[in-house]
Amino acid sequence: MTDVIVLNGGSSSGKSGIARCLQAVLPDPWLALGADALVDAMPASMQASDAGIEFAPDGQVIVGPEFRTLEAAWIEGVAAMARAGAPVIVDEVFLGGADSQKRWQKALGELRVLWVGVRCDSAVAAGREVARGDRVIGMAASQADVVHRGMVYDLEVDTAHAESMECARTIAAHVS
């Protein structure tokens, strides 16, 4: 049985929508946790410090050592929940590509993980970003490709060509 589903894709690629649809189609209850929840849980001062996380006007995201410390604890906490029996869908943005995946692989250890790449054409994601109104313009375009560099996936879906529910059903078919 799969313990963790990791959805990796750029901003506005459709990961959160897929996660909600997965919760609806998977037979057992799954927790959905993501990078946005981590950032929202951090104090506002983390966004005003070079040691925290910065969302640059051009859409780049820069993280510092204090962010990395809290992120490492977050990753270990998510892994602990899965080990305790809570199946988890992780909605992530691997800004470090393969290095980010390695951090998660280390924490998840022996857990059975389904690694899913959520792709979306940068122009489509940029349009979604504008429509959302809650993102720095440029994040979607800057992240669309970089988050997939060096990644190894079990499965990939493309939200520019398929709706969230269709992607979720494709992923659910690979959950054992």
Rounded distance, CA 50 to CA 63, Å?
8
Rounded distance, CA 78 to CA 97, Å?
19
CB 135 within 8 A of CB 12: yes
Helices 15-25, 164-172: axis angle to 10 degrees equals 60
Q: Which two tokens stand for residue 162?
A: 């398929």
Known active-site residue 50: no
> Biggest alpha carbon distance in the chain?
43
Rounded distance, CA 92 to CA 10, Å?
8
Annotated catalytic residue, options 36, 121, 154, 158: 36
List, by residue number, the catalytic residues: 36
